[in-house]
Structure 1
């Protein structure tokens, strides 16, 4: 077996084709392991993708490992925030290949990042290799909505106050629709970025959101909520196989009384159910030992709370501590300038 390392450079078209063929044929592959996401990260500021492709003796792909190194802008934050995130971990034909891919991935990252994190997407593939490579488990929750029952059953599972708010949104003239229009997407992105600034978290680079359609194509769906012809909210979701993954969202705080945040997730789920998707992955719900308002909000849509333990490998403990303190200061600074 040989491996090919692709770090922050565009892959050869032949390699890309073999990569995509392997991903599409593997039952546990996810969109974050795709070459499309690699290209999106490559064109996103402060992001440096890393992919390792394994080939067997017949030069057929037998495994892939992909992640991205992320930094925050600014001289101070740039040195305190380099971290690597991989959604799904290694994808391989067997455990030995998965172990070799992850070990090589960690070897490369050790010189470049403070820590690396693995975030499961769906059922984890060869989880035993994580501890073998020095990763520690971090309890984390996720929320999954089953879409197979259809709209009537889905609606019956929603908390009654949330159902009322969905009705109120409609009575106030809120409409939700898909858009591929570049101007509308560019108009919706600031609502997402503003949300991150309001809650004091580092926002995703604007280019990643505005250029998403270019690299992900129909896998990225953008829903906008309108009130009187004005964009009041937006939700970006990723569609792959039978799952819709909630990616980024935001809304206009001045239109909060229109219940935009209540109706948008529901309309996305209805669309997904009608279009043959089985699962709506509502995303992270925080640590089980901590209160988390976002979890409470999401659970009112009738989803199921599940364990999605994450894994972390700390390469530079002192910088990890400094980075955590720097992030706290970043949040306070951003909130102070709202």
Structure 2
């Protein structure tokens, strides 16, 4: 029999994530601590164990994100499960993940509008379980770049037009280095904020970035990069690093400054060549919908994958109200 609980040991939790073939930074206790420090974020963590042996069979961690607080919280809240759930490859594991997600739905259903599961691998082995529990699958692309090779090989796979952009960035005086202090972190956040506002996308509070900088950069689980041109800050990129993977997390650049994004991405690829195995370039949108970011990423020569996403709406009424509210919210971005 499987028991579901939120009472667990972080050491056991992190060991399970570390040993799991799909274990990722978003399912570690480190990220849970980050979410606890972030305004309008709340971690959700559950494990499924065998009642007899006590063996950990499955776990899930997500963050409940609220755009508004107070009585309007449940109308503006969503839960994001990235790289989850994780479970052992066995009949018991499949039973455990089913029980885990049933419990999860009951736990968060009244608090949020919807849950989004952002896949980081092919989840065909649990797709039937998730769809039977009300999760709708949709296609979503990503690019993965092989880092486990010399810098010269990575460079040769980048398309000629993108290599020209990288070279022009250098000639134009764009310099990339690591962020050195909290003052530079503030400058980076402002660039991300500026970029997201330009595309009318909500952005997390700065406390998320501060928590990652304070807790994860000192353990090499995060890197913050900043780009200058003529001593002016013109770009930033932030990665999360775990096991063999560098994950492209957030980015921002000054509008009208050419080739800064190319310079930042190449710098990250170059310094991580041979150090990690994969650069996960992050989302590239739905394959049937135009998305300029996808074309930018494609030209760096990675493998395009379609792991997709799952989404479950927990309340149709709340969803309708939240869509109206979001349209109004975007007018102020």
What is the TM-score normalised by the length of structure 2? 0.90
- Are the aligned partners of 1:140 and 1:309 in contact in 2 as well (CA < 8 Å)? yes
- Are the aligned partners of 1:77 and 1:326 in contact in 2 as well (CA < 8 Å)? no
Q: Distance in 2 between matches of 1:224 and 1:171?
A: 18
Structure 1 pair 333/27, CA: closer, same or farther in 2 (3 Å)? same
1:43 corresponds, among 24, 34, 37, to 37
1:127 counterpart SS class = helix
Structure 1 pair 162/75, CA: closer, same or farther in 2 (3 Å)? farther
Superposed CA offset, 1:75-111 (max 9, x none): 7974532111101222122111111111111111111
C-alpha deviation, 1:286, in angstroms: 0.9
The aligned counterpart of 2:24 is 30
- Are the aligned partners of 1:314 and 1:320 in contact in 2 as well (CA < 8 Å)? yes
C-alpha deviation, 1:130, in angstroms: 0.9
2:9 counterpart SS class = helix
Q: Distance in 1 between matches of 2:68 and 2:79?
A: 16
The aligned counterpart of 1:63 is 58
1:134 counterpart SS class = coil
- Are the aligned partners of 1:22 and 1:62 in contact in 2 as well (CA < 8 Å)? no
Q: Distance in 1 between matches of 2:71 and 2:284?
A: 30
C-alpha deviation, 1:272, in angstroms: 1.7
Superposed CA offset, 1:24-82 (max 9, x none): 12121111111111111111111111100223333343321111111114779745321
Q: Structure 1 residue 235 and structure 2 residue 229: aligned?
A: no
Q: Distance in 1 between matches of 2:306 and 2:242?
A: 21
1:288 counterpart SS class = coil
Counterpart mapping for 1:1-338 below 5 A: 1-5=2-6, 15-56=9-50, 57-73=52-68, 78-93=73-88, 94-124=93-123, 126-216=126-216, 217-253=219-255, 256-257=257-258, 259-274=259-274, 276-334=275-333
The aligned counterpart of 1:9 is none
Superposed CA offset, 1:212-249 (max 9, x none): 13233421111111223333211110111111110001
2:290 counterpart SS class = coil
1:239 counterpart SS class = strand
C-alpha deviation, 1:250, in angstroms: 0.7
Q: Distance in 2 between matches of 1:321 and 1:265?
A: 38
Q: Distance in 1 between matches of 2:188 and 2:153?
A: 31
Q: Gapped runs of 5+ residues in structure 1?
A: 7-13
Q: Distance in 1 between matches of 2:118 and 2:233?
A: 32
Q: Gapped runs of 5+ residues in structure 2?
A: none
- Are the aligned partners of 1:199 and 1:331 in contact in 2 as well (CA < 8 Å)? no
Superposed CA offset, 1:274-330 (max 9, x none): 4x2111111111111111111111111112221121111111112213322332332
Q: Distance in 2 between matches of 1:54 and 1:29?
A: 16
C-alpha deviation, 1:332, in angstroms: 3.0
- Are the aligned partners of 1:37 and 1:215 in contact in 2 as well (CA < 8 Å)? no
Q: Distance in 2 between matches of 1:266 and 1:183?
A: 24
- Are the aligned partners of 1:55 and 1:61 in contact in 2 as well (CA < 8 Å)? yes
